[in-house]
Structure 1
Amino acid sequence: MIHPTIIRKQKGLVGLLISLTLITVIISLGLGYSSVGFDRIIPVLLQQGTFKEEFVLFSVRLPRIIITLLAGMALALSGAILQGITRNDLADPGIIGINSGSGAAIAIFFLYFPIDVGTFVYLIPIVAFIGAFLTAIVIYLVSYRKKEGMQPIRLILTGVGFSMALSGLMVVLISSAEREKVDFIQNWLSGNIWGTDWPFILAILPWLLVLIPFALFKSDRLNILNMSDSVSIGVGMKVERERKVLLLVAVALAAAAVSVTGGIAFIGLMAPHLAKALIGPRHQLYIPIAILLGGWLLLVADTIGRNVVEPDGIPAGIVAALIGAPYFIYLLLKK
């Protein structure tokens, strides 16, 4: 049983993060190459602005902000699940190769398959999931031992190796591609949020609406998996089956996110860590906070990146890496 004080603390943190996210959304709406005054944001949202103001907010800024928030939430939850099933604080979909698997599949699809504009938006998450799923299967098989089961440390190391190999594969693929397609894949590799239209929201939202409640439902199982295998088996859990199901959920979340944001790492590493530091290690407590933190962190990274260098800015993936890489090194030294 969770103490009521901790539950009140969690609700307070959730309220604080929602408020912080709304403030960041307002700041992000007002900043950019075509600025909209902060005093004009509310009237424009109420459709009382000029054509230019409404175009900037509704066609450019707002869909990008929503996509960024959804992707950050998905990456944070994916990282929380991976850290739970591997019992390794360094697990992250970008670090262990899942993002690179999605990227390789997207690159192959984009370069060598005929693309229909009407269905491209909705096919991209599916293609990313197939690439991430196949990568996860290979990583899992390499890290699995018949008598010992899945080895968490081996899974992390194998994933890092596959991430580097698949990134190299993408570089090879684009070396002889057309200029326009090369630009797209390079933007993806750098984590430049490219899915900035309303249809991309419809493409990613169903994945989150299904997988976030499912992950929260499985939070008790994650608590048990975070202990030793002997304890998990002792309470009657089918450890390997639960790991496979939750790994599939983590892969699907990461694939849905990176299909519209590109290769963004470290969000799935930092958000769960910060959430656990704020509320403790129980998954049912920290996962909602990690989800909100992930969306907020990626939105902050994208807002900074968009406004540091105009008009193109710096990709959100690079800004997230500048924040996350030192934290990753700190964890390596600490562990």
Structure 2
Amino acid sequence: METIVGKQSIQFREAPHIVSAASIVGKKEGEGPLGKLFDQIEEDPMVGQASWEEAESALQKKAAGLAMEKAGPGVPPVRYLFSGDLLGQLIATSFGVMDLKLPLFGLYGACSTIGEALMLAAMTVQGGYSDAVLALTSSHFGSAEKQFRYPLEYGGQRPLSATWTVTGSGAFVVARSGGRARISGATPGRVVDYGLKDSMNMGACMAPAACDTICSHLEDFGRKPSDYDYIITGDLGSVGHTILLELAGKRGFDLEERHLDCGMMIFDSETQDTHAGGSGCACSAVTLAAYILPKIESGQWRRVLFVPTGALLSTVSYNEGQSVPGIAHAVVIEHC
């Protein structure tokens, strides 16, 4: 059974396995440094649908189906689904997974959602409530811009601190056994708010939360950054990366040699005009599925702290002058 560790962490004594993963991305993501690693690249940003929102739902449906197909016949049937997205009332998820006919737990952790989904999936499997669970999330550049910023037709300029929302969906089947990577621990994040109000600089808004979760995790488990091959955040981008290193240093942890960020890996900022990097729920999810997980499964990396990050703003809170709180969820993924 899982064991409570320190102030807020969990250690899974019989660590559930990630038995399969699927990554589906858009054309721009396919042209980036990780392009050859993704399972499927959608050349059509509309994915054959009538709206950006429907396109994102289609991405979720495809990724979920592919992950369950890749799990193979030896894995028990998926019983529950943990999923979420960035859109109001999780419409990309609800319309995307409807045809799967699976009981759904809808999650909102902004861009940290896949961390929350994997954590809850592991708890559900470890607790004996299901033999197999699906963790899923998505984002889409068009739907995110339309909801949080300006419609694409507006043609607004983006500051250098801005990130580019990843179009894609990542899905993972978590089961009792059968994989070469396992979820051995987790540290749920707290909402951290430094009072920043710039929605075009989400890296700065999320970095304090990333620092809080990473440092709390290391303190709870009595570990050092060197106990991990890498500590990989979700989408801080280049701005948030710099802030995280500074904040963690003030708490006594040097992350300089161990920190990677999915938002900095998924695009080439010099040639793809993505400014500070990538963002969105899919950013960390597809990078985990296509790049991080294979390295763990092969044994090239033995232990990784995967820390998706999220900016907890909405159009309502932003228009009312509220700040942009952040959250980060940490998941320990080990080779087995």
TM-score by length of 2: 0.29
TM-score by length of 1: 0.29
Structure index of larger Rg: 1
Say which structure, 1 or 2, has more relative contact order (CA 8 Å, 6+ apart). Answer: 1
Which structure dedicates a bigger proportion of its chain to helix?
1
